[in-house]
């Protein structure tokens, strides 16, 4: 019997029949072996369920659940959480894929950090619908950088996040009032109590689609983002400094901008903020490294602002 902590891989999928096999097999290929896959098929209308059942028949660690009717995404994510048994929750969407060392690297980091880190993410590789590499995507590494990024962008690739069960128990699960940007709202809550961190390895292949939720419902994403940031200021006590105010105003204006232009504008502003932050002295508070685990640890839904 394994002495390693059980990790629950949480997958919510709807109509991903063309790529669901790749997603599941990337979990099967993990070098970290003590995992379960809680796979919620959200009332798919394609052949997804046939593929899921066939793979589950040969692997007892796969726990497939089929919804009778389609749920909202946050409700489906919470449903997967309720059916998980692990000490840690690792998200993977049905159209993404993990690198084989993903869980091993993140679990080594979490063991070294103790209970300080509430969300551990990583960088990712963006791929198109055929799996062809588009470009690497980097995310802020340390806690302060993640907090600052919350006002300009989503600081995590959702399919790269590892969250201890205890963090959900203390901070709550996904807010089902947020049909989109529910992960951003959750990061604000967690970041007020626990530390946020992104390993700088590229541990996930993150698939982008031209008809994804961001491109179909750009204004809805922007408005949900604004709402999450209002809650952060009014309910969770986040400081609304000059940088946050600028970001909030830009987000508000983005409601009427083309998604591509809005993203370019935010990248430019974020780059300016990051250049400024590099001039500031960084103080360490936890002796951890993202690769060798020896340095100090400082205490996107797709295409999010």
- In the chain, the domains with their CATH numbers are 1-95 (3.90.550.10), 99-305 (no CATH)
Q: What CA–CA distance (Å, rounded) separates 167 from 197?
A: 14
Q: What CA–CA distance (Å, rounded) separates 302 from 305?
A: 9
| pLDDT number for residue 88 | 98
| pLDDT number for residue 2 | 67
| pLDDT number for residue 291 | 34
Please list, residue by residue across 172-202, b when 16 or more beta carbons sit within 10 angstroms of its beta carbon and e when fewer do: ebbbeebbbbbbbbbbbbbbeebbbbbbebb
| pLDDT number for residue 209 | 77
Contact 164, 8 (CB under 8 A): no
pTM over 0.75: yes
State which H helix or E strand residue 114 sits in. Answer: none
Residue 219 CB neighbours (<10 A): 12
Residue 1 CB neighbours (<10 A): 3
Q: What CA–CA distance (Å, rounded) separates 245 from 71?
A: 34
| pLDDT number for residue 280 | 53
Residues in Cβ contact with 279 at an 8 Å cutoff, skipping those fewer than 6 apart = none
Q: What CA–CA distance (Å, rounded) separates 27 from 30?
A: 5
Closest of 187, 128, 144, 158 to residue 296, by C-alpha? 144
- Find the angle CA(257)-CA(262)-CA(276) to the nearest 5 degrees: 140
| pLDDT number for residue 264 | 76
- Tokens read off for 183: 């992960």
| pLDDT number for residue 283 | 39
Q: What CA–CA distance (Å, rounded) separates 285 from 35?
A: 31
Instruction: Tell me the residue ranges of DSSP E strands in 128-189.
Output: 133-137, 162-164
Strand bridging mode 97-98 / 195-207: antiparallel
Please state the separation of Cα 259 from the chain's center in Å: 20
Strand bridging mode 162-164 / 97-98: unpaired
Q: What CA–CA distance (Å, rounded) separates 162 from 92?
A: 10
Residues in Cβ contact with 251 at an 8 Å cutoff, skipping those fewer than 6 apart = 222, 225, 226, 229, 305
Q: Is 236 exposed, middle or buried (0-12, 13-18, 19+ CB in 10 A)?
A: middle
| pLDDT number for residue 123 | 98
Mean pLDDT per segment of 10 residues, for the chain of length 305 residues?
86 97 98 98 97 97 97 98 98 98 98 94 96 96 95 95 98 97 98 98 91 66 94 94 86 82 72 63 38 30 43
Quick one: DSSP state of residue 100? T
């Amino acid at each position: 019997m394994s002495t390693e902590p059980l990790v629950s891989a949480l997958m919510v999928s709807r109509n991903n029949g063309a790529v669901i096999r790749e997603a599941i097999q990337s979990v099967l290929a993990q070098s970290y072996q003590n995992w379960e896959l809680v796979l919620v098929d959200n009332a798919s209308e394609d052949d997804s369920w046939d593929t899921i059942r066939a793979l589950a028949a040969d692997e007892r660690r796969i726990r497939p659940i089929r919804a009778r009717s389609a749920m909202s995404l946050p409700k489906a994510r919470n449903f997967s959480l309720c059916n998980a048994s692990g000490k840690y929750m690792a998200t993977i969407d049905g159209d993404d894929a993990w690198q084989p060392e993903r869980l091993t690297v993140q679990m080594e980091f979490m063991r070294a950090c103790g209970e300080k880190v509430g969300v551990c993410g990583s960088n990712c590789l963006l791929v198109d619908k055929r799996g062809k590499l588009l470009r690497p995507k980097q995310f802020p590494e340390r806690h302060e950088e993640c907090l600052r990024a919350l006002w300009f962008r989503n600081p995590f690739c959702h399919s790269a996040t590892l969250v201890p069960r205890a963090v959900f128990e203390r901070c709550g699960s996904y807010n089902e009032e947020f049909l989109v940007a529910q992960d951003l709202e959750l990061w604000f809550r967690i970041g007020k109590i626990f530390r946020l961190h992104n390993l700088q390895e590229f541990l996930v292949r993150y698939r982008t689609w031209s008809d994804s939720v961001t491109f179909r419902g750009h204004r809805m994403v922007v408005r949900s983002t604004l709402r999450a940031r209002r809650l952060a200021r009014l309910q969770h006590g986040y400081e609304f400094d000059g940088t946050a105010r600028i970001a909030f105003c830009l987000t508000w204006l983005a409601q009427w901008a083309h998604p591509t232009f809005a993203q370019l504008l935010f990248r430019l502003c974020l780059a300016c903020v990051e250049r400024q932050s590099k001039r500031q002295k960084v103080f360490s508070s936890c002796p951890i490294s993202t690769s060798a685990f020896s340095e100090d640890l400082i205490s996107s839904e797709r295409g999010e602002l």
